[in-house]
Structure 1
Amino acid sequence: MIPITRNSIDSKTITLRSGVPLANAYRTVYLNEEQVGCGNLILVNADHPVRKVEPRLAPVAGKLLMAAGKEEPDVALDTVSLAQLTALLDACGARKKIVVVSGYRSKDVQRMIFMDTLVKRGPAYTESYVALPGASEHQTGLAVDVGLASRRLHYIAPSFGEGSADAGRFKRLAPAYGFIQRYEEEKTPITGIACEPWHYRYVGYPHAAVMTDKNLCLEEYTAFLKKHAFASEHLIVEDGDRRFEIYYVEAAPGLTAVPVPNDKDAEWDVSGNNVDGFVVTASYRKEPRRHGR
């Protein structure tokens, strides 16, 4: 059991608890091993590099301000991430104050950036701020670097958060739109990356809100969700409008049978964790009938 906790996220109070499954019934979908590396919740780091990810990209140009440079002249993001980032900037009132510095990078571009930074800044700086080729979240299209439009911006470490009200508002509202600051200073021993106030990662709602509430980085959250396997108590999240049911399914060799809600009141999504399994997130707008197995 996890204790019931409450936290205000963008004027909403979320409640977390462990609980019994919420759907009236479940059906099975089958996912292959490659799909463990796909979805909004994939963990990408030096120990868990990007697998076969083919992001659905949309250009940032014409939608948001961007600080395009020679390293990344055509900034693009995952389509859902871009839509949510746009909504977040609108909520912040910062469309003309915050710019997109970096989005999707191919493995080859990441290799070029890594080697260039290594030559110019040395190994200590490079290892702290630049992920290895193949181990960068930017390769998924789900990560975005942002900066303040009023300041001169460095591509690797753009200015963001240093006493800025706009940056503070962005960070405060980000979880409600599915974003987390991926690399916090206190989590450096776990993530292996120094604090990056400019680097945000889309994981989706309510996951970003839960991570913020429990002060978990993505490495910790991936382990936390494994405690809520389908056959045990699920993670239940409520925010006043919706009730969410979240649970983990361990991947099997070949195809994995993943139970999903077979309920007319439920919308669901499945994401791989890029480690060893899948996470199901179901949303209920109406009060579902609880039951036991």
Structure 2
Amino acid sequence: MTQIELTKDDTYHGNLILVTPDYPLMKIPCMEDMLPAIKEQPEIRMNEQAANLLQLTLAKIHCRNEIVAVSGFRTQEEQEKIWNDTLAESGLDFTKKYVAVPRHSEHQTGLAIDLAENKEQIDFICPHFPYTGIWGKFRMTAPRFGFVERYVSGKEQITGIGAEPWHFRYVGYPHSVIMTDGGHSIKLDVSEMSPYMVSGTNEGGVILSRWGEHYA
């Protein structure tokens, strides 16, 4: 029998940690642990595994430069600045809809990436990421590499965030396929997933995931 020893600290790490308006991120990773999300944009970084798989996804769809990264990992200071700047420019209602309160942003996990159509003018807060063309192809392919479109229309009451077609979260395979095919949010998936991958939930628990041949 295989035994896995877990500590309280393990509940704050893993691909399935839940970060929402109700659940703040308890452990913020270090910038030094991040890699460039896209090689041509070294200043925008992500979790190492997520970055490598994002690049594989883009290679799979033969993306040249049609897709660019807008925002990846953010430090506490960066998230605070984005919140304060957006609040000053666009008001509280808009800010609460599209910007997470510091420590409540998935970007601070290193597992989230905002992507955009590569064009001259790109909105940092609400970048344009179409559902057609190579951008739609990315959406269809991303779950096979562990990514989900995190904030989809119709799930606002569950996620607490407005629809963000540009925001993708790395949760790992096969969870990404299960969540996409089933229309689940991360919050639902964390509560419904059958207990080999171990991930903290950021809620004080862990998930032991197992899957059959269908997802092998």
TM-score > 0.5 by shorter chain: yes
Counterpart residue identity of residue 97, structure 1: E
- Amino acid in the other structure paired with 1:198: W
Give 1:140 deviation, angstroms. 0.7
Kept in 1, the 8 Å contact 2:35–2:51? The answer is yes
Q: Verify the 8 A CA contact 1:36 1:275 in the aligned structure 2.
A: yes
Q: Match for residue 43 of structure 2?
A: 74
Pick the aligned partner of 2:123 from 140, 143, 154. Answer: 154
- The superposition leaves residues 180-239 of structure 1 with CA deviations (integer Å, 9 ceiling, x where unpaired) of 0000111011111111000000000000000012110111111112xx3xxxxxxxxxxx
Pairwise CA distance, 1:283: 6.5
Q: Give CA-to-partner distance per residue, 1:235-279, whole Å, 9 cap, x none.
A: xxxxxxxxxxxx1xxxxxxxxxxxxxxxxxxxx431101113211
- The residue aligned with 2:197 is 269
Query: RMSD between aligned alpha carbons?
Result: 1.7
SS of 1:49's equivalent in the other structure is: coil
User: 2 CA distance for matches of 1:164 and 1:155?
Assistant: 21
- Which residue number corresponds to residue 72 of structure 2? 103
Structure 1 residue identity aligned to 2:144: A
Relative to the length of structure 1, the TM-score reads 0.68
TM-score (norm 2): 0.92
1:198 to 166, 177, 180: 166
Matches of 1:282 and 1:196, distance apart in 2:
30
How many residues are aligned here? 211
Q: In structure 2, what is the equivalent of residue 187 of structure 1?
A: 155
Distance 1:60 1:189 in 2: 30
Per-residue deviation, residues 107-127 of structure 1 (Å, max 9, x unmatched): 111011001000000011000
Confirm or deny: 8 A CA contact 2:44 2:72 kept in the other structure.
yes
% of aligned pairs identical?
36
More helix by share: 2
Where structure 1 has 5 or more consecutive residues not aligned to the other structure, the ranges are 1-25, 67-72, 229-246, 248-267, 286-293
The structure in which a higher percent of residues are strand is: 1
SS in 2 for 1:105: coil
- Residue identity matched to 1:36: T
Q: Which runs of 5+ in 2 are unaligned?
A: none
Query: Of 199, 206, 210, which aligns to 1:278?
Result: 206
Match of 2:20 in 1: 45
